[in-house]
Structure 1
Amino acid sequence: MSDDVGIIHDIFGVDEAIYLPTKMHEVMLDKDRREEAFSRYIKEYSCDPSVDGFHDYYMAEQAERKTNKQDFTPNAVSDLVAGLTGSNHANFVFEPTAGTGGMMIRNWWEGIQSLGPLGMLFHKPSSKFYWLEELSDRAIPFLLFNAAIRGINAVIVHGDSLSREVKNIYFVQNTEDEPFAHSSINVMPRTDEVRRYFNVDDWVGEPLEHIEDELELDGIRILANS
């Protein structure tokens, strides 16, 4: 495990685990640095897209077990849920406690496997959309990483699923709709339209302003600012 910690910390340029979530979030909102991190992660740490490569690291170094009772779903349980619900064939998936994305990844992978041995080559990212919600500040950067590196299309609501107090809403989008393309990461603005659509009761903290491409979500249209 110590070797894994060293590799992960080196990819994001930190010396201690406490600094990783903040630095990782910073990298996720910088396209060039994000792509560099993706390349290093695949080459130096994990090239298996079917599992959350951060699972063991997060549980050992980042999980808020005492304060937020964080424990993450084993792959076997995620596979069982996908099989029982038939969610590998659904084009919309909702998960209110997404963590770092373990269940999302297994659902995504089951869908690809259902296409046959060459499913990874021929699946269309636009055929499935994820609505994910997560409260933990530490988990959000890992969830963004896991969705974007796999080219997944998703909305990620960073906030409380019950109280609807929300910090930020991210729109992760595979603009090329290609199976091996990475997704862009955008932050939805705090407009009245966005608030109503996502049932936000209250915004928490300072807003982030980060839009990488043109967004269209059920009539909500946002133009890139860069």
Structure 2
Amino acid sequence: MTDINKILGITESYRAPEAMWKILKSEQTVRDNKFSEFLEAFEYKVSKDWFHEWFQEDHADRSVKKQDFTPISVGEILANITNNLQEKAYLKRYDVCSGTGGLTITKWNNDIITKGFMNYKPSQFLYVCEELSERSLPFLLFNYLIRGMNGIIYHGDVLEKKYNAIYVIVNENDDALGFSGFVEIKNN
């Protein structure tokens, strides 16, 4: 398994969210270089969430927030089922309590396969997530950006619909091989 802590430049996993925020908020060239380092370390295999097992072991808050992660196989089944939805297309790409984004990544990958890589444009798809955990939020955002996705992430309580911030993610060049950027909208 790839040493995520080493790539993040930390020795203790509890520092990972802070280190990830530092990457995400850094100057674009610095951020893009770190993205390239991650891509190389994971052999450019972007079809799966790299943080799934690592985050579940070290960061899931099972006792207080009852967090758990959707098994990869279940994500694949859901992605395939949603391909057949005719009505309410927005439901095809909505992930509530999204954690680090494994379910969304599976759907994104399924969309690329269905559309065909040569025909895929990020602007054709909008992925929407809601997440409460401050620890998983930077990893969720990272997963959107490194894959060049377009979307919206609501950070807050999905049941109460009270959000601390909203993140709008855009692949400005509409390039399937490019990275996305983001804007944070604070809710005061």
CA contact (8 A) 1:88 1:114 kept: no
Distance 2:85 2:129 in 1: 16
CA contact (8 A) 2:120 2:176 kept: yes
* Pairwise CA distance, 1:84: 2.0
Query: Quick check: 1:105 aligned with 2:105?
Result: yes
CA contact (8 A) 1:96 1:132 kept: yes
Cα deviation per residue 1:54-94 (whole Å; 9 max; x = unaligned)?
11111111111212111111121111112223269846622
So what's the TM-score if we normalise by structure 1? Answer: 0.75
Distance 2:15 2:133 in 1: 15
What is the one-letter code of the residue matched to 1:24? M
Give the alignment partner of residue 141 of structure 2, picking from 119, 138, 144: 144
CA contact (8 A) 1:88 1:107 kept: no
* Pairwise CA distance, 1:32: 2.9
Higher Rg of the two aligned structures = 1
* Pairwise CA distance, 1:95: 1.7
Corresponding residue number in structure 2 for 1:10: 6
* Pairwise CA distance, 1:121: 3.3
Cα deviation per residue 1:140-182 (whole Å; 9 max; x = unaligned)?
0110111111100011111001122222111111000011010
So what's the TM-score if we normalise by structure 2? Answer: 0.90
Distance 1:29 1:121 in 2: 31
What is the one-letter code of the residue matched to 2:155? H
Give the alignment partner of residue 128 of structure 2, picking from 111, 126, 131: 131
* Pairwise CA distance, 1:33: 2.9
Distance 2:107 2:85 in 1: 6
Cα deviation per residue 1:6-27 (whole Å; 9 max; x = unaligned)?
x211222111001111121121
CA contact (8 A) 2:152 2:167 kept: yes
Structure-2 change in CA distance of 1:44 and 1:83 (3 Å): closer
What is the one-letter code of the residue matched to 1:124? K
What is the one-letter code of the residue matched to 1:27? I
Unaligned runs of 5+ in 1: 191-202, 204-226
CA contact (8 A) 1:29 1:185 kept: no
Distance 2:154 2:22 in 1: 17
CA contact (8 A) 1:88 1:108 kept: no
Unaligned runs of 5+ in 2: none
Q: CA RMSD in A?
A: 1.9
Structure-2 change in CA distance of 1:139 and 1:150 (3 Å): same
Corresponding residue number in structure 2 for 1:29: 25
CA contact (8 A) 2:75 2:103 kept: yes
- Secondary structure of 2:14's counterpart equals helix
What is the one-letter code of the residue matched to 2:24? M
Query: Quick check: 1:180 aligned with 2:177?
Result: yes
- Secondary structure of 1:73's counterpart equals coil
Distance 1:55 1:121 in 2: 28
Cα deviation per residue 1:182-219 (whole Å; 9 max; x = unaligned)?
000211254xxxxxxxxxxxx4xxxxxxxxxxxxxxxx
- Structure of greater relative contact order (alpha carbons < 8 Å, 6+ residues apart): 2
What is the one-letter code of the residue matched to 1:182? F
Distance 1:120 1:62 in 2: 34
Distance 1:147 1:87 in 2: 24
Distance 2:6 2:36 in 1: 13
